[in-house]
Chain A
């Protein structure tokens, strides 16, 4: 069974620090990887997608992918209290668009 694993947290960081969120996946053939942010009571919002090994940066966010280690991470620089949310790692399954989600990591950014 294909699995995506995340530490549920909570991960607590002070305002201005770098938050590092990690995710591992079991299907070595996976080709697409996504990070979603979900605020309490709201639906998930896509913040990053990554398809090839290495780093991808978008503003304060950097996604890192290492297919050999089956590992995806998300770095949030200069963390703000508004970044406090649950971050869901998702891995694409085949060409159907279907995603396999991790359980999510709760991030708390303290002022």
Chain B
């Protein structure tokens, strides 16, 4: 149990375009989903907390107009990177929180902006 999927697993896009990443909890309902970014050889950086039916809460320094988060249902959250630039190239990972304390991570999406 506790399976989280992400789509796509990798994406290459041109500078200035937007990219949408989906995160789904497959076998449970997630009250909260989290979005992280990870650069090579660095730890996870929390970007935002997403609750179903409400606006996401962004961490300090994360541009909410650039990283749009929509939590449409208890099993789906999406992250849209708008007007992507090469410095946005990173490994984006979502996680789902069941309410019992544990977070389960999706497999991640590797974004490359050219």
Q: Are B105 and A43 in contact (CB under 8 A)?
A: yes
Q: Are A49 and B101 in contact (CB under 8 A)?
A: yes
Q: Chain B, 70-114, contact with A by CB distance < 8 Å: what is the 0/1 string?
A: 000000000000000000000101000101011111111000000
Count of inter-chain pairs, beta carbons less than 8 A: 48
**With A42-B107, A43-B107 known to touch, is A101 a contact of B44 (CB < 8 Å)?**
yes
The smallest beta-carbon distance between A50 and chain B, in angstroms, is 10
Contact of A44 among B31, B32, B44, B46 (CB under 8 A): B44
On chain B, the number of residues with a Cβ less than 8 Å from chain A's Cβ atoms is 19
On chain A, the number of residues with a Cβ less than 8 Å from chain B's Cβ atoms is 21
In the assembled complex, which residues on chain B have CB atoms less than 8 Å from the CB atom of A90?
A: 103
- For A44, A88, A96, A103, the residue with the greatest tally of chain B CB atoms inside 10 Å of its CB is A44
B67 at the interface (CB under 8 A from A): no
Q: Are B105 and A44 in contact (CB under 8 A)?
A: yes
The smallest beta-carbon distance between A73 and chain B, in angstroms, is 19
A6 CA to B29 CA, complexed, in Å: 32
**With A32-B101, A49-B101, A97-B101 known to touch, is A42 a contact of B46 (CB < 8 Å)?**
no
Q: Are A97 and B44 in contact (CB under 8 A)?
A: no
Task: Spell out B's residues near A (CB within 8 Å).
Answer: 31-32, 34, 43-44, 46, 49, 91, 93, 97, 99, 101-108
Given A49-B102, A97-B34; 4 other pairs, CB 8 A cutoff: A45-B105, A97-B99, A98-B49, A102-B43
Task: Spell out A's residues near B (CB within 8 Å).
Answer: 32, 34, 36, 42-46, 49, 51, 88, 90, 92, 96-99, 101-104
Could you list 28 A-B pairs, sorted by A, with CB under 8 Å? A32-B101, A34-B101, A34-B103, A36-B105, A42-B108, A43-B105, A43-B107, A44-B44, A44-B105, A46-B102, A46-B104, A46-B105, A49-B101, A49-B102, A51-B101, A88-B43, A88-B44, A90-B103, A92-B101, A96-B32, A97-B32, A97-B99, A97-B101, A97-B103, A98-B46, A99-B34, A99-B46, A101-B44
